[in-house]
Structure 1
Amino acid sequence: MSSTTVGAELRRWRAVRRLSQLELAALAGTTQRHLSFIESGRSRPGRAIVIRLAESLGLSLRERNDLLMTVGYAPVFTESGLDETALRPVRVALEQILHGHLPYPALVIAPYGRVVAANDAVEVFTEDASLELLEPPVNMLRLMLHPQGMAARVGNLDEWGRHVIDNLRARARRSPDPRLDDFVAELAEYVPQAPVGPEHLGFSVPMRLASADGELRLITTLTSFATATDITLAELHLEAFLPADQTTAELLRVRAERYRNGRTTAASRR
């Protein structure tokens, strides 16, 4: 690749991050003059400075590999399959976390909402959902907002759904991706617009989800692998739901017990 191409990529990322040459140079431990030479194509950067610049720009591991390859260097971050032996300890740990979170729902989600693992309590999300939306691999974001998924049961879809959309748009601004833009546009069509009134509480309002046992009020926690050096792990996140009140906690406990007993009965019949 030409030095000009590398420079154009750095300028593009600086614009996305709203950083001046001086600010980025200071973050990366180099001089503005050196960075200016790289961006103008007058200097071919070494591998180490490319990694420092990518890190200072806050690029994802995948984006750092892309920048390295633009310069002509080999990628440094691996991308393992989740079912590979190298990631077995991580899989075991995730399974333990998912099981330990019962009777509350928890999922491991890959980019664009693809579910890669979940505990039994997520059955509360699939109640009355279209079979088409439950075909693997399930896309949790689409299931949540689609009219034939959870949307019909979410009492505050306008506010809660907008929270989901805004988070995705923030991610798209940070890491521009046409595929993500298209996905956000699709999801946005499912969420009704609602004016912000005097009782608006921002994103602090829990999701109100109707169920066969009564209304559930759920809040969400997101966990990511902040120190991962494998692209697959770095792009995963654990989404765990917690009850926002005692009534929800009790309903989820009852559902989990009923679901467990149902599976046990079915297994004994076989």
Structure 2
Amino acid sequence: MSLLEGRVAAVTGGARGIGFAIAEAFVREGARVVVGDLNPGDAHRKLGADRVRAVPCDVTRAADVEALLATARAEFGPVDVMVNNAGITRDATMRTMTEDDFDQVIAVHLKGTWHGTRLAAAIMREQGHGSIVNISSLSGKVGMAGQTNYSAAKAGIVGLTKAAAKEVARFGVRVNAIRPGLIRTPMTTAMPEKVWDRKMAEIPMARAGEVEEVAKVALFLASDLSSYMTGTTLEVTGGRFM
């Protein structure tokens, strides 16, 4: 039997990049998936229209996340797996970063993850089971220059994950996080070559990660393979900043 056979999952920021790879891995392992994204495009057709729905979702708005979960229930059934992946960057030094740039990143990453975690957990605790996977970042572990907003948000996700895990464990709901490092996506490969090379020099495995490698870890945390794990943060970094 496939790892997620018969289960329903929701993935925010799932129309591209890491989120799309996670949704794709879940479908391949038997799940029915609802993708939420500001611009869902044709993600459902790319992933398989019979097992996937894609809906517009602004994770900073609780009503949008509620609608995402309501779509999952109406189309497939109550959500068993929630992946809070949606994110943006607004990089700048503290000297030049605007207050709006700071607020937007905190709202999407941290508040968006809070909305997804609390709303999905409310459904899962009634079922007596469920897995929530939050996407943090290596930036939240070590702090990156030019990313005070992003680093703060991603560090906050780890704290949120641990606190939420303690609250809902007795209801059979698990909450874990993933901390990716340098993953090859359109956003990262658009970096200036010298920035890319500097980051690569910090990776013991001497290569960038692929989105599918993050997706495999998300699949592990979503499935019963990790049934005795909650409140953990798994690093997918090639050994960078271990």
Structure of higher CA gyration radius = 1
Fold equivalence (TM over 0.5): no
Higher helix share: 1
Higher strand share: 2
Question: Taking structure 1 as the reference length, what is the TM-score of the superposition?
Answer: 0.26
Query: Could you say which structure has the greater relative contact order, defined with CA pairs below 8 angstroms and 6 or more residues apart?
Result: 2
Question: Taking structure 2 as the reference length, what is the TM-score of the superposition?
Answer: 0.28
